[in-house]
Chains A and B, each alone.
Chain A
Amino acid sequence: MSTILALSLLAGLLAVDHRVGWQSLLAQPVFAAVLVGGVTGELESAVTVGLALELIYLSILPMRGTRVPDQIAGGVVGCGTASLLMRYTGDPRFVFVAAVGILMGLLAGELGSRLGAPFHGLQNRVLSGFDVAPHTARRTVVQRIAWLHTGSIAYVFVVEAVVVLVLLSAGFFAGERFTRLVDVTLLEGAEYWKFLIPAVGAASLIHLYWQHHLRRMLIVCAVLVVIILWLR
C-alpha cells in the first residue's frame, strides 16, 4: 500500500510538471517509467511498459482543443501495475505481466482523462470567475493572483494523486486476479498482443511524419536502418 501511495504522490508531482510547469518530459510514459521503476525497484518491467505506452501515445499530439488520454495516469498505472506484480507476486511470466501492465495503463489513461475532467472543469470555473474592482490596490491584486496560483498548483497535484491512487489500486487488484485466473489461451493471446503493440507504434510514427515534404526522409532513414541492422 505504501508503494501505491508513493506512486500516487509521484503522479501528483508529474501532473504539476505537465499541466502547470514547463512540461519537462518527465510526465511522458517513457521517462515516468524510470521514476516508477526507481520507486518499486523493478526498472526493467517498468521501462518495458513505459516504452510500449510511449509508442502508442506518440501519434496523439495535445494540440489545441483535442481530448487526449491522461498520459500521466496511463504511464504511472501501467508501469506501476507491471512492476508491483513482478515485485509482490514474483510471477516469472515477464512478457505476460508486461502485457497486463500495458493494458492497465491504456485503460487508466482513458479512464483518468474522464475521471479528472469534472475536477479540471471546477478549477476552470474558479479561475474564470476571477474579478476585481477597478480601483483595488495593486498589492491586493498581486496577492490574490499569487494565492490563486498556489491553490491551483496544489489542486492539480491532489486531483492527479487521488485519480492515480484509485486507478492504480484497481489496476493492481485487477491485474493480480487476472494473472491468477488466466488460462493458457488468454496467456498466449496477451503475449501475441505484447509482441504486436510496436506495430501500433510504427503506425503512429508513419502517421506523424507522413507529410509530403517529410515522407522521403522518413522512408530513407527507415530503409537505411533496416539494411544496417540486417547486415549486422
Chain B
Amino acid sequence: MKRVIGKFQLFRSFLRLLFLQGLLNRRGMQNLGLVSALSPATGKLDDSRDSSMLLKHLSFFNCNPNFTPFVVGGVLKLEEEKRAGKPISDDDIEYFKRALTGPLAAMGDMLFIGNLKPLALTFACIFAIYKLPLGLLAVFLLYNIVIISCRLWGVYLGYTKGWELVDFFSGPEFQKVLSVVEAASAGVGGVLLGILFCRFPQNGHTMLVLAGALTAVTLYLLKRDVPASWVAIILFPTSAFVALLVGQG
C-alpha cells in the first residue's frame, strides 16, 4: 500500500500534541486536541474540502497526554488504509479509539503521574538538599527527553502499527517497565527519606523525636485524605503555641 502521509505531516501532528491539553474541556475532554492533531494529515487523506473526516472525531476522547500520540498515529494509519480501499469503516476506527483509549489512559497515568514524575521530583529534592544545580539540570533534561521522545515515537509507532498497537500493549513488556520504574521510585524515595531523617538531629535530638511524632501524625492524617499542605498550614499556629508554652516554662 502506498503511503500518503509523510514524516513531515506526522511531525506536525506531534508538535500539536505537545500542546494537547490546551483544548481540554469537560464535554469532550481531549476531543478538540485530537482533531487539532489529526488536521495536518487530513488534507492528504481527503481530497474533498469537506470537514467530515475531522468532525467524526469530535466524540468524547480522554487519554493520558503522553500516550495519546499512539492513538493519533493509529487513527491516521487506519484512515489511510480506508482511503486505499481496505474494508475499514468509520465504526471500526471509532472502535479502535475506544479499545485503546481506556487502557492507555490507565497505563499512562500509572507510569507517568504515579511513578516517573515522583521519581524525577524525588531526585530533584535530593539534588536541591545537597545544592547540586547540575543534578537538577540533569533531572530536568532526562525527564523531558523521556516525555518528548515518548510522544514523538508514539506518533510514528502508532502510524506504523495501526491495529497491531492493541497487541503491542497487550503483552507483558509494559508491566515489566512499570515494575522497574516503581522499584526505582521506591528506592530513591527511601534514599530521600533516609537523608531527611539524618538531618533532623542537626537541630537537636528533641527535634528528632518531634519530627518522628509529626511524621506518624501526618501519615495518619494523609491516610484519612487530609492533604499534606493543610497539615503543614495547621502546624504553623501549633508550633507558635508550643514555642509560647516552652517560653513560659
Give the interface of A toward B (CB within 8 A). 19-26, 28, 30-31, 33-34, 47, 50-51, 54-64, 69, 74, 102-103, 106-107, 109-110, 124, 127-128, 130, 132, 134-142, 145-146, 148-149, 152-153, 156, 184-186, 188-190, 192-193, 195-209, 213-215, 217-226, 229-230
Contacts and interface: CB of A to CB of B under 8 A. Distances in A.
Main secondary structure of the interface of B (DSSP, over half): helix
B49 A34 contact: no
Contacts, number: 300
Contacts of B65: 22-23
B41 to A, nearest CB: 12
Contact of B49 (A138, A200, A208, A220): A138
Interface string B17-49: 011011111111000100110010011001001
A209 B186 contact: yes
B50 A226 contact: no
Contact of A219 (B190, B207, B222): B190
A35 B136 CA distance: 12
A186 B25 CA distance: 46
B228 A59 contact: yes
Which of A31, A34, A47 has its CB near the most chain B CB atoms (within 10 A)? A31
Interface string B97-133: 0000000000001000110011011101100110101
B9 to A, nearest CB: 13
B247 A185 contact: yes
8 contacts: A51-B128, A54-B124, A110-B229, A146-B36, A149-B22, A193-B240, A199-B218, A229-B195
Contacts of A64: 109
List 9 tightest A-B contacts by C-beta distance, closest first.
A221-B190, A225-B194, A189-B240, A203-B218, A127-B25, A189-B243, A128-B27, A214-B186, A20-B22
Given A128-B28, A141-B39, A188-B247, 14 more contacts: A30-B136, A69-B227, A127-B24, A142-B51, A185-B247, A188-B246, A189-B239, A198-B196, A199-B218, A201-B125, A203-B219, A218-B186, A221-B189, A226-B194
A35 to B, nearest CB: 11
Given A190-B239, A200-B218, A217-B187, A30 B125 contact: yes
A186 B211 CA distance: 19
A59 B231 CA distance: 12
